[in-house]
Chain A
Amino acid sequence: DGGITQSPKYLFRKEGQNVTLSCEQNLNHDAMYWYRQDPGQGLRLIYYSQIVNDFQKGDIAEGYSVSREKKESFPLTVTSAQKNPTAFYLCASRPQGSYQPQHFGDGTRLSIL
């Protein structure tokens, strides 16, 4: 079945460490997104990519980095520069076209040790 796979489901990070969250899709979607969800807030856009080898910053990109070397994959690295990384991270993808919905993964919950 087609879908979006995020791994791991739970991730723990020590202070000063970088961690990478995986997002893979087999839906042949061009656009991919990373969102952060905090309690009491709506999803906030970290980065998005509309095509391979291209990506744009969202509203809260500081302390994060991404790559898009393959259409299927859009990994997110949470760097040590992100001072408050504890959150729920959601990856989404969408085919081209204005009237196409986003498809979401099941999320990764990141916690600081």
Chain B
Amino acid sequence: KNEVEQSPQNLTAQEGEFITINCSYSVGISALHWLQQHPGGGIVSLFMLSSGKKKHGRLIATINIQEKHSSLHITASHPRDSAVYICAVRSNTGNQFYFGTGTSLTVIP
């Protein structure tokens, strides 16, 4: 069983739709990260959360520590949002990071 589970695996949306990607984890964490991987392969860090909610532009990330769950929301989705979104957690018992398998998002014009 993976320490980090994401859903859905694949997501197709029409431009303008509100999108939610979910992440559940099973280990104690010091922080949770949302990453974006573009088709070329490079990864960009979007958010780092240890509690509550963060917003950056059209992106919103939330975390519920008690339920070990985080969501990434994209409002007014756009084709340029098409990418793989990866949830990662940093264990609170060491320097280990655990990664979800990613959610592949395609936004259609």
Contact B50 A102 (CB under 8 A): no
Complex partner residue of B101 from A40, A50, A102, A106, CB under 8 angstroms: A40
What residue in chain B is nearest A48 (Cβ atoms)? B95
Question: Is B64's beta carbon under 8 Å from chain A?
Answer: no
The complex places the Cα of A23 from the Cα of B25 at a distance, in Å, of 30
Contact of B96 with A by CB under 8 A: yes
* A85: Cβ under 8 A from any B Cβ: no
Say whether B41 contacts A109, CB under 8 Å: yes
Chain A residues with Cβ below 8 Å from B43 are: 90, 92, 104, 107
In the complex, A48→B90 CA distance in Å?
14
If A48-B95, A99-B48 touch, whether A105 touches B101 (CB-CB below 8 Å) is no
Residues of B within 8 A of A98 (CB): 30-31, 90
Question: Which A residue sits closest to B38, measured CB to CB?
Answer: A106
Residue of A33, A40, A100, A107 near B42 (CB, 8 A) is A107
Supposing A42-B2, A42-B99, A45-B96 touch, asked if A102 and B41 sit within 8 A by C-beta, the answer is no
Contacting B at CB under 8 A, from A72-113, are 88, 90, 92, 98-107, 109
- Which residues from chain A contact B42 at a C-beta distance below 8 Å? 104-107
**Hey, which chain B residues are within 8 Å of A107, CB to CB?**
41-43
Instruction: Determine which of A43, A48, A88, A106 lies in contact with B99 in the assembled complex, contact meaning CB atoms within 8 Å.
Output: A43
Which B1-59 residues sit within 8 Å CB-CB of chain A?
Answer: 2, 4, 30-31, 33, 35, 40-45, 48, 50
Q: Which residues of A contact B (CB under 8 A)?
A: 31, 33, 35, 40-45, 48, 50, 88, 90, 92, 98-107, 109
